[in-house]
Each structure stands twice: as C-alpha cells, then as structure tokens.
C-alpha cells in the first residue's frame, strides 16, 4: 500500500479503537447494579387462620410493575390469632414460630428497614409481640371488606402485569371463612357510592365495583344454612337435622349453640340443644336449601346481586381464589363447564360418607365432610348471587397463585402502604439491558465491517494503480 494512504488507515484504526472503547464503557456503565433486595412482611389474621407473608423486590426497581414477589409464607398453627379473644397473650405467642422463620429468611442487615403490617382483626398482645421482633412494625389495621376486595384486585392485576394498560384487567373473587368479596371494572354505571372505588395506577384510571358480604364466607354460610334448617325442622323433629348437603351415612352429634355461636345467625332458643346431623346427599335439595340464605327478591337499583346489594353485570375474566380454589381444586372442578360441574357435584354429594372417607384417609374430616356443601354454595353464590351464567362460566379462573405469589389481599395491601404502585408510570428505559448490549455489540461489529471494507477498497485501488503504472 502506498505510503500516502497510511495516515488514512491509522486514522480509521484510531476511530475503530475509540468506538470499541466507547461501546465497552457504555455497556459496563449501564450494567444493572448488583441486585439489592428489599423486604416486607404482612400478617393476614383471617377468621379461620393467620398467615405470615414475606415479600421481596429489587431495591432500585420497586416502582416497576410485577417486581414484588412472594418469597415465603408461613401458616400460624391452630385457628389463627382471631381465635384468641379469650386468651390474648396466647395470640402473640402463637406468632413466634412464623416470625422466627421470617428472621431466617430476611438478611439480618435488612431487618430494621423491613416493614411489618398486620391486617384484619387485632389483639393488643399481638401488637406487643410484633414490636419485640427486629423489624419495623407499622401497626395493625382492621381491613374493611371494601379494602379486602380492592387489595385482592390490585394483587391479581399487579401479578398479571395488567396495571400497565387501562383495560383488560382481571376481576377478583375472594371466598374466606367469614366473608366473601367481588371486585371488577364494570361496563355499566355504579349506582351506589358504597360499592365504588377509584384507583390511579401507573397513569391509568380504574373505576372499580366492589362489595364484601360479611357472613357469606363458607364457614358462616354453612351456619346460616344449618340455622335455617334447624329453625324449620327441630320444632317438629327435635332429634335429627336431615341435611341434603352432607353425604348419605354421615351422622354427627351437634348442639344448637354450635350452629348459633356467631353474630351471623340470630339467637335460636330450643328446649333441646342436642341433635344428630344426618346426611342425605341430595344435591338438588341441597341447592334449594342454600338458595334460602340469599334474598334475591328485594332490589332498589336497576339490578342487584342479593340482599338488596347493587351489582352491575359481571364483565371480563375473573380470578377466584382462597376457598374458591381450595374447594373447586379438591373436587377437580376448576376447568369444567357449569353443566358438567353440576353433574359431577350431584354424583359426589350422593356418594356414601364411608366411601368418601375411604378415598381420602388423610384429609381433615372437618374439611372433607363440607366439600359437598361448600362447592354447592360456591355454585349458588356465583350463579344465583353474582349472576354468572353457563356462557361466562369459562371466564372464571380458579387460582391459588400467580407465579410464586398467593392471590389474596396482602400483597395489594403492602404495595399500597409502601407506595410501590405510583400513580404515574415511571420512565421505562429505551430497551432492556440485554437488548442494549446486543444492539451495541452489533453496532460495533457493523463499524468494524465497514472499516474493513474501506481498508480492502483502498488496498485494491492501490494494487490496481500500481498495475497501471507497470
């Protein structure tokens, strides 16, 4: 190559090296920092249980949707702290095992900044006990039914990453032991302000319908239903309560206070307090008896669910969790049509109790004996109560988790209290880091190829010039 081209080549080589250095520096410079994690603890003190949820998220990405994930959950032994009203000291002590697990799961240097939230019913001794742990106790709050519904909705939509778009969100159906909630974005106007809640999340406005039915969790609904049967039968037959929602051959002695020991059922004084709870296993009679706990004849709005509560028509897909999942999953009814569900349930309810026990020797007989009732109650609540039909039954997804996180109000509650869902969408990087590195790599490669072509062009034109001279 002629000496006169050398400066050009040196110049081009210098540019190449400069560009490669620039690319390497910018790739290293923008590499995400070492994942520092933050943690949060939420205690769900439900009517039938208490659970401790530990959440974690990358510290510098907490405002991005979907970043908070459930790291661990621990169920407090026994019926949970709500059952310690007579022995408050026992409530705090019952948390010890789960709170010590939390100390193991969360790095010690993060303990002082890890918030602890206690939701639902509270006892002072629990607050005292929670303050004794090295976490940052943020107090206890009684979660209203409306909040329980709304936070459950936030949880399922945060985990499904639906909160980056204004439409296409998932409705939330939560069935507890004492209460049940329905929350969704309706197509019609919400006629009662008590049932309306507005959120602005990631720059999107959501106008939600929500309602919580106290006493319509599955445990209380069973008492309501048995109470109605007792009122009508025990006056005539003081010995036996013949129940179509329990299996043939099921015979268990009970007392009237067993059924009426709750504010959900009005007091019933009967001369004879002892009776035999006898199963008949007749599904259609069971459904008829359950329908009696729903009052669908009163409604002062354009449309109601039951007991005079306004409800717009259900719309879109729904996530049904907690006991909706426990019951329908146990009976393998999570993916059947409404008609098939009814057929399967009728067959299951008419199965003799001894066969049911024989097929499930390890299942707690308290839960096992109630699946026929609970599943029939779920069907009646969804179809007669919320007006789901055979056409949109397929839009109900019975779920326990989304990814590794349980569906329920606790994640939404923590996200709300820690302001981790901004009203406005945070700026998103032009491209994810991986895409950025790939782009810069191919950009550098392109520069190299171009410079090689230039060099070859010069080289060839020099050779041609030499030949001409010869």
- 365 near ligand GTP (CB under 6 A): no
Q: Which of 5, 301, 315, 330 binds ligand GTP (CB under 6 A)?
A: 330
- 441 near ligand GTP (CB under 6 A): no
- 48 near ligand GTP (CB under 6 A): yes
- 369 near ligand GTP (CB under 6 A): no
Interaction partner, residue 171 (Ca ion, ligand GTP, none; CB < 5-8 Å by kind): none
User: Contact, 28 vs 21, CB < 8 A?
Assistant: no
Tracing tokens 């109650």 back to the chain, one arrives at 377
Which is nearer to ligand GTP, 121 or 416 (by Cβ)? 121
CB of 322 to Ca ion, least distance (A): 6
Which is nearer to ligand GTP, 57 or 373 (by Cβ)? 373
CB of 28 to ligand GTP, least distance (A): 48
Length of the chain: 470
CA atoms of 390 and 308, how far apart (whole Å): 24
Which is nearer to Ca ion, 51 or 157 (by Cβ)? 51
Using alpha carbons, select from 103, 99, 54, 106 the residue that is nearest to residue 81: 99
Which is nearer to ligand GTP, 179 or 305 (by Cβ)? 179
Interaction partner, residue 217 (ligand GTP, Ca ion, none; CB < 5-8 Å by kind): ligand GTP
Residues 24-83 within binding reach of Ca ion (CB under 5 A): 46
* Residues of the binding site for ATP: 177-181
Interaction partner, residue 179 (ligand GTP, Ca ion, none; CB < 5-8 Å by kind): ligand GTP
CB of 115 to ligand GTP, least distance (A): 21
- Catalytic residue selected from 60, 101, 148, 273: 148
**Burial class for 331, CB neighbours closer than 10 Å (0-12, 13-18, 19+):** middle
CA atoms of 186 and 196, how far apart (whole Å): 10
Which string of b and e fits 199-227 if b means at least 16 CB within 10 Å?
Answer: bebbebebebbbbbbebbbbbbbbbbbbb
Which is nearer to ligand GTP, 177 or 312 (by Cβ)? 177
Q: Which residues contact 249 (CB under 8 A, 6 or more apart)?
A: 279, 352, 353, 354
Which is nearer to Ca ion, 23 or 182 (by Cβ)? 182
- 412 near ligand GTP (CB under 6 A): no
Which is nearer to Ca ion, 243 or 406 (by Cβ)? 406
Q: Is 267 a catalytic residue?
A: no
Residues 71-130 within binding reach of ligand GTP (CB under 6 A): none
CB of 35 to ligand GTP, least distance (A): 32
User: Contact, 192 vs 233, CB < 8 A?
Assistant: no
CA distances from 93 to 83, 134, 242, 381 (A): 13, 16, 41, 37
| Stretch 166-185: interaction string toward Ca ion, x if CB under 5 A | ----------x---------
Q: Which of 322, 341, 369, 416 binds ligand GTP (CB under 6 A)?
A: 322
- 323 near ligand GTP (CB under 6 A): yes
Torsion of CA 58, 60, 65, 68, to 10 degrees: 30
Residue 221 has, within 13 A of its CA and on its CB side, a CA count of 31
CB of 118 to ligand GTP, least distance (A): 14
Tracing tokens 């936070």 back to the chain, one arrives at 151
Interaction partner, residue 248 (Ca ion, ligand GTP, none; CB < 5-8 Å by kind): none
Alpha helices in 95-239 (DSSP H): 96-105, 124-131, 145-159, 218-233
| Stretch 146-185: interaction string toward ligand GTP, x if CB under 6 A | ------------------------------xxxx------
Tracing tokens 């030499």 back to the chain, one arrives at 466
Residues 207-226 within binding reach of ligand GTP (CB under 6 A): 217-219
| Residues touching ligand GTP, count (CB under 6 A) | 16
Q: Which residues contact 135 (CB under 8 A, 6 or more apart)?
A: 41, 102, 106, 111, 112, 114, 115, 116
Give the number of other CB atoms < 10 A from CB of residue 280: 17
Tracing tokens 């839960």 back to the chain, one arrives at 367
CA 413 from centroid of its chain's CA atoms: 11
- 367 near ligand GTP (CB under 6 A): yes
Interaction partner, residue 47 (ligand GTP, Ca ion, none; CB < 5-8 Å by kind): ligand GTP
User: Contact, 251 vs 215, CB < 8 A?
Assistant: no
CA atoms of 187 and 377, how far apart (whole Å): 27
Binding-site ranges for Ca ion (CB under 5 A) = 46, 176
Q: Which amino acids are annotated catalytic? A: 148
Binding site for ligand GTP (CB under 6 A): 46-49, 176-179, 217-219, 322-323, 326, 330, 367
């Amino acid at each position: 190559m002629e000496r006169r081209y050398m400066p050009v080549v040196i110049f081009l080589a210098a540019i190449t090296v400069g560009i490669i250095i620039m690319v390497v520096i910018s790739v290293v410079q923008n590499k995400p920092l070492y994942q520092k994690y933050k943690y949060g603890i939420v205690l769900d003190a439900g009517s039938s249980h208490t659970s401790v949820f530990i959440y974690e998220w990358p510290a510098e990405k907490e405002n991005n949707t979907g970043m908070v994930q459930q790291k661990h959950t621990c169920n407090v032994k026994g019926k949970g702290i709500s059952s310690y009203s007579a022995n408050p000291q026992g409530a705090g002590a019952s948390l010890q095992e789960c709170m010590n697990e939390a100390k193991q799961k969360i790095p010690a240097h993060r303990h002082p900044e890890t918030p602890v939230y206690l939701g639902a019913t509270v006892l002072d001794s629990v607050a005292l006990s929670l303050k004794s742990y090295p976490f940052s106790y943020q107090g206890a709050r009684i979660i209203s039914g409306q909040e329980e519904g709304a936070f459950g909705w936030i949880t399922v939509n945060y985990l499904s990453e639906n909160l980056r778009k204004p439409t296409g969100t998932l409705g939330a159906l939560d069935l507890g032991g004492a209460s049940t909630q329905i929350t969704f974005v309706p197509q019609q106007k919400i006629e009662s302000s008590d049932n309306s809640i507005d959120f602005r999340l990631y720059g999107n406005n959501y106008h939600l319908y929500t309602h919580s039915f106290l006493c319509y969790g599955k445990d209380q609904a069973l008492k309501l239903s048995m109470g109605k049967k007792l009122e009508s039968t025990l006056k005539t037959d003081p010995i036996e309560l013949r129940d179509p929602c329990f299996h043939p051959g099921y015979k268990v002695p009970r007392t009237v206070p067993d059924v009426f020991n709750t504010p959900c059922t009005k007091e019933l004084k009967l001369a004879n307090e002892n009776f035999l709870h006898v199963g008949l296993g007749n599904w259609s009679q069971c459904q008829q008896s359950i329908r009696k706990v729903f009052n669908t004849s009163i409604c002062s709005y354009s449309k109601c669910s039951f007991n005079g509560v306004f409800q717009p028509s259900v719309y879109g897909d729904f996530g049904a969790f907690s006991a909706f999942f426990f019951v329908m999953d146990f009976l393998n009814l999570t993916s059947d049509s409404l008609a098939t569900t009814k057929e399967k349930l009728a067959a299951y309810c008419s199965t003799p109790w001894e066969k049911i026990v024989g097929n499930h020797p390890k299942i707690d007989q308290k839960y096992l004996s109630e699946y026929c009732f609970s599943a029939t109650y779920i069907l009646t609540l969804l179809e007669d109560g919320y007006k789901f039909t055979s056409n949109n039954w397929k839009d109900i997804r019975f779920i326990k988790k989304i990814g590794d996180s349980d569906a329920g109000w606790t994640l939404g509650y923590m996200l709300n209290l820690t302001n981790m869902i901004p009203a406005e969408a945070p700026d998103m990087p032009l491209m994810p880091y991986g895409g950025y590195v790939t782009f810069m790599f191919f950009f550098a490669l392109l520069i190299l190829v171009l410079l090689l072509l230039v060099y070859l062009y010069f080289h060839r034109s020099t050779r041609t010039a030499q030949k001409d001279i010869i």
